[in-house]
Structures are given as C-alpha cells and as structure tokens.
Amino acid sequence: MDVIDDLEAEQDRLESVLAALTPADWAHPSAAAGWTVADVVLHLAQTEEAVVASAAGDAGGIDWRRFGKTVDEGMAAMVRAQRASPEEIFVRWQAARRAAIRALRTADPQRPLRWVTASLKPRTLATTRLAEHWAHALDITGPLGMDYPDTARLRHVAWLAHSTLPYAWHLAGRPAVPVHCDLTGPGGERWEFGDPAAESAISGAAGAFCRVGAQRLSPAGSGLHTHGPHGAEALALLRNYAVT
C-alpha cells in the first residue's frame, strides 16, 4: 500500500463527491464548526498549495501563525480572506492537489519538508494529507447525508495515530508508555501496531479508532475497548496529527 498512491485515490474519491454537489450543497454547513462545505474545500486547497510551497523550499508559505495567534486561528483567517465561488474553489483544489501529488512523488524521500510547526519526510507528510482529506470528507458528506464508506486506506491513518502517541503523551505532560493497538479494518483485516506485550492496549474497529484520532468521535461513544493501566488515557489523547 503506497501512501502517495492511496492519498491520490482518496482525493479521487472526494473529487467525485464534490463534482456532484449542487450550489446549495456547497453553501451547506459542514461538520467543521463555522465552515461551509466550500470553506472546507478551500482549506484543503490552501493546505495542498502549502505542500507544493514546502517542497519548493518556501517554508514561509506554510507559516499559519502569520495570520493568527494559533495555527487554527491562522487557518481560519486564511479561509475568511480567500472565500470565492464554489466553481473557483473546486478548480483551485483540483489544481493544488495534483500539484501536491507531483511534489510529493518527486521530493527527496529522506529530506524532511517543513510543515506547520514541524518537519516531516514526504511520505509522512502524504500520510497526514490522507488523514486530513479523509476527515474533511466526513465533514462534508455527513451533514449532506451522503455515504462515505471506510476503505483499507485507513491503515495509514491508524498507523499515524499510533505513531504520534508519544507526542500526545508529551503534550499532556506525561511520560510516554507503550500501547498496543489491535484493530479490525473495514474488510475484516487485522491491523496491529506496537508491541503485543505492552501492558496497555486499544482494540476494536479501525474506523472508530481513526475517528477518535480525528476528533470526529468521542472515546466513550467509539465502541473501542481499552486494556491495562494506560489504555483509556491513550485513547483520550489519540490524534491523527504528525509532528515529528
């Protein structure tokens, strides 16, 4: 499963959804607080353009703090500043996502690219882009009552969530502890991450695991099972964000 191929496939799927939307759909509130569907796609276009800028060595192109006190504030300000018609936004995202794929494919795989407040190797950056497109696709399709079934591409997102647990522990001011994740993929596959001998573990549906990490589902409502002294805390800290 090549992550850049899978990122492109996830974007292809989202593009087919967007191509079928009506003007009313584009103006509909998304599940991202304060944003319409058009705003979500504009944000995706802006961040894909940031991938291209980073690959070209323009680190300033992804300095969101120029627009707000926090990264989230900066990204929201960028969206407010560049709103346009749905047609313009769709074309902008289409061009940006194709340029970003080309940039990721041709980048030196060992040279980290600047991303928000960290530096990521191209394949890790591709994984974060897959996770973000998938999560925002849920933000778009859910409020519109459209199906967006899980696919095997979620394995990348689940890997990312598990890989960033040490950083999540750090942010919480806690020492990192080993956590084993035993997940069931959408096709019944078994996906395991971490040491099976770890005292703490999380098990259950990969789709729920990824949604918790994307903050689209609460741990309590996820149906996931936690085990050991730190399993529940690990699930509460889960995040699909790459930072190292």
pLDDT digit string, tens, across residues 144-163: 999 999 999 999 999 999 99
Q: 11 Cβ partners below 8 Å, 6+ apart?
A: 97, 101, 133
Question: For position 18, what pLDDT does the model report?
Answer: 98
Residue of 179, 141, 181, 178 whose CA lies nearest to 157: 181
Residue of 171, 156, 157 whose CA lies nearest to 117: 171
Instruction: List the structure tokens of 234.
Output: 């690990």
Question: For position 118, what pLDDT does the model report?
Answer: 80
Distance separating alpha carbons of residues 97 and 112, to the nearest angstrom: 20
Q: Which helix (H) or strand (E) holds 182?
A: strand 179-184
The pTM (predicted TM-score) of the whole model is 0.94
Task: Give the dihedral of Cα atoms 105, 103, 70, 230; nearest 10 deg.
Answer: 0
pLDDT tens for the chain, 244 residues long, are 799 999 999 999 999 999 999 999 999 999 999 999 999 999 999 999 999 999 998 755 556 666 666 777 888 999 999 999 999 999 999 999 999 999 999 999 999 998 877 889 999 999 999 999 999 999 999 999 999 999 999 999 999 999 999 999 998 999 999 999 999 999 999 999 999 999 999 999 999 999 999 999 999 999 999 999 999 999 999 999 764 3
Distance separating alpha carbons of residues 149 and 94, to the nearest angstrom: 22
Question: For position 244, what pLDDT does the model report?
Answer: 37
